[in-house]
Structure 1
């Protein structure tokens, strides 16, 4: 019970901080809108074939995640509150609280991104089940990887650069899986390969979050 209360407290702290400053949300929203308009006018995404059109959105989502989700732990070291958390909370509670905040934040951003992109690119959702999978599990995967890497690099000197370098290689197989499932959502519907892609996606998320919890305990103690 105490672990859960601590986790909720950390989640509320990050949520209240974001509501008070709105820095992260405003920054990522401005990036998403600018990137979407750039894609629409330069690549003419609305005129592309449905297959590349359905996967193009993940490039925007990926870089939006890189620009915002890494601040979960990095902001603690910048504000010199990392040691305070270490004194009053267990490592697993801190990681879980940060992860839940990143999931909520990423879910809102991803939902807005997809809604705007579907409207601008004139896409039609063929399979709502596949769309729900990419939205929910895509958010879980992005948040899991970002929270894990942010925890690792939070003590480094050049946090932003190291975060991007370490995160992108982990995101590549994840984005490829999401692109395939996105094709099912907007083009092919639930086809034979959907089950395999979905199973691989679940495995990736499970390994990432489990590794994050295990590795963060070591980072926290050190």
Structure 2
């Protein structure tokens, strides 16, 4: 019992160290957050003035926000592991984590989740204001916000780890991650319609459980596969 507790505490401390390192780096440079906010604002202005998003029907208007979030994620979340190889600190990361892969993946995943959550809250706030939408079901909105963020973070962290040792990392990241993002975006679109158009979350129970399963599979698969990636 004590051995299991010690292992759990050791894992927690290493995960917290990786998370703290990434948060400190981002806070010091603020490169990713500034870039993604500029991208989100530019995208919102583009859809507002070119396709007149504020004049669309409520259902397509409510789903359009996930396209912005998807491409914002593609532009920034790949950095979780790619910066380690670009700056040649991947081996130092192994030393930092005492050679264990699980705390590294967990720390990177939590960092991506917190980053994505902040960006998504900003995006939704600006989007709702600009296209004149209102939230009619807060439970549905909170579900899509937290589960959608978890799904995006899980896919991005897993794919970034896989392609971190490859050439042309950015292109490979987009190619591998988009097929994984598509089913999740479709599920989120159905649930977003509930949050902004109809107030009955029970009408989309199948989509809700499918999204929960998708997020669970992505996070579990990432945790399992990363050990093999880490040893390469």
Q: TM-score, normalised by structure 2?
A: 0.94
Q: CA deviation at 1:84?
A: 1.1
> What residue number does 1:199 align with?
209
Q: Runs (4+) of structure 1 moved beyond 2 Å?
A: none
The equivalences for 1:81-92 within 5 A come to 81-89=89-97, 90-92=100-102
- CA–CA separation in structure 2 for the residues paired with 1:200 and 1:12: 32
Q: TM-score, normalised by structure 1?
A: 0.98
> What residue number does 2:47 align with?
39
> What residue number does 2:105 align with?
95
2:193 matched to 1:183?
yes
- CA–CA separation in structure 1 for the residues paired with 2:134 and 2:25: 37
CA contact (8 A) 2:140 2:201 kept: no
Superposition CA RMSD, Å = 0.8
- CA–CA separation in structure 2 for the residues paired with 1:66 and 1:77: 18
> What residue number does 1:26 align with?
34
Aligned partner of 2:182 among 162, 169, 172: 172
The equivalences for 1:127-142 within 5 A come to 127-142=137-152
What CA deviation, in whole Å up to 9, does each residue of 1:44-90 have, x standing for no partner? 01100000000000000000000011100000001111011123321
Q: CA deviation at 1:192?
A: 4.0
Helix, strand or coil for the counterpart of 2:88? coil
The equivalences for 1:139-154 within 5 A come to 139-154=149-164
Aligned partner of 2:165 among 144, 149, 155: 155
> What residue number does 2:129 align with?
119
Structure 2: 5+ residue stretches without partners:
1-8
2:117 matched to 1:107?
yes
